[in-house]
Structure 1
Amino acid sequence: MSELRFREATPDDVALLRAWDEEPHVQAADPNDDWQWEEELERNPDWREQRIAEADGRPIGFMQIIDPAREDSHYWGECEPDLRALDIWIGPADALGKGYGTRMMTLAIDHCFATPGVRAILIDPLASNHRTRRFYERLRFIFVEERDFGEDHCAVYRLERERWEAR
């Protein structure tokens, strides 16, 4: 099994992330967002982490962890404190189906819950993406509601700390 690690995403990653944005599987999962990589990778607010996943040194995915109560766009609306929200995807198509997504999510969840006050994690796949929804359900996320975020109709899921720790 290859070594998987995260490193901070930097402005040097803009071309890589733009290329991944054009991949059909990324487009299908996130069709209406412009991440504004050039601007966002220059910012480092204390409520957000942006990471590149590498398998044996090769970039294979992206992860963002935010505090939804504190992030500046208010994407999640009014949120209780002590939550985290995740965005995560595999970039290159040849890295799909190799277990990287599960390993990335497990590392991300463990990272979130390493902060003692974090009570739960939110995630919002497209409601129509049944394969991804089953993936999150296998990771013990519980469906909360369907909700529109901009142009995207999503399924909101939540993972409570106690549920993760009891696995």
Structure 2
Amino acid sequence: MALGELVKLRAMGPADAEALWRWNHDPEVMRWMDDSYAQPVERVRTWLAERPRNAYGDVLLGIEALADGKLIGLVMLHGTEPEKGIAKLDIYLGEKDYWGRGYATDAVRTVCRYGFDDMRLHKVTLTVVTENHAARKVYERVGFVEEGRLRQVFRRDGQWYDMYTMGLLSDELRRGALTPDGQ
């Protein structure tokens, strides 16, 4: 478990299946995410139950709002190899009432702090669709910098989009408090 200013990150389990299923079937939530074929909620529950426990190479954490204890999203550090000390970050907030209020920024900062301090990572990387301006702002607030551009690798609504690759080194993490507007 990791604590931020607004969120608590904790392991996910079968009890979280309904929320995960609902988020994955919401077109607005999944707008800029790689989504897969629709699955019944029972399959999501089975996946969470049979998923290997969190380990260095693959950490899946639920994002809970500290204010009310509600599960509002998930974050992953994955593809990690001890020899390299680099992990890939994936995150999304499924509860739209929490969008734009600093929860994503706090979750990204908290998981990166966990990765650098507890997992002894050197770097965290991610990709983000160029049109996902809100997500890019979150990453930049935490300290991520653009490292490259992948051309036309994401398709949505019949259109191809580019993706930015971004990276954050352990000494670049912005540890500052959230601003008064929650960002």
TM-score by length of 2: 0.73
Deviation for aligned residue 1:108 = 0.6
Q: Pick the structure with more strand per residue.
A: 2
- Of all paired residues, the percent bearing the same amino acid is 23
**1:120-165 deviation line (CA, Å, top 9, x unaligned):** 1011111221232122112210111122696454211000112226
Unmatched 5+ stretches in structure 2: 156-161, 177-183
1:23 has 2:26 as partner: yes
Residue of structure 1 equivalent to 2:150? 147
C-alpha distance in 1 between matches for 2:133 and 2:163? 11
- Does the C-alpha gap of structure 1 residues 146 and 60 become closer, same or farther in structure 2, counting only changes over 3 Å? same
Larger radius of gyration: 2
C-alpha distance in 2 between matches for 1:35 and 1:154? 24
Would the aligned equivalents of 1:63 and 1:89 in 2 still touch at CA under 8 Å?
A: yes
Unmatched 5+ stretches in structure 1: 71-79
C-alpha distance in 2 between matches for 1:158 and 1:54? 25
1:84 has 2:87 as partner: yes
- Does the C-alpha gap of structure 1 residues 150 and 43 become closer, same or farther in structure 2, counting only changes over 3 Å? farther
Deviation for aligned residue 1:67 = 3.2
- 1:146 alignment partner, SS class: strand
Residue of structure 2 equivalent to 1:76? none
- Does the C-alpha gap of structure 1 residues 127 and 165 become closer, same or farther in structure 2, counting only changes over 3 Å? closer
Q: CA RMSD in A?
A: 2.8
**1:1-55 deviation line (CA, Å, top 9, x unaligned):** x852122111222221010112233221215345974564222263111111111
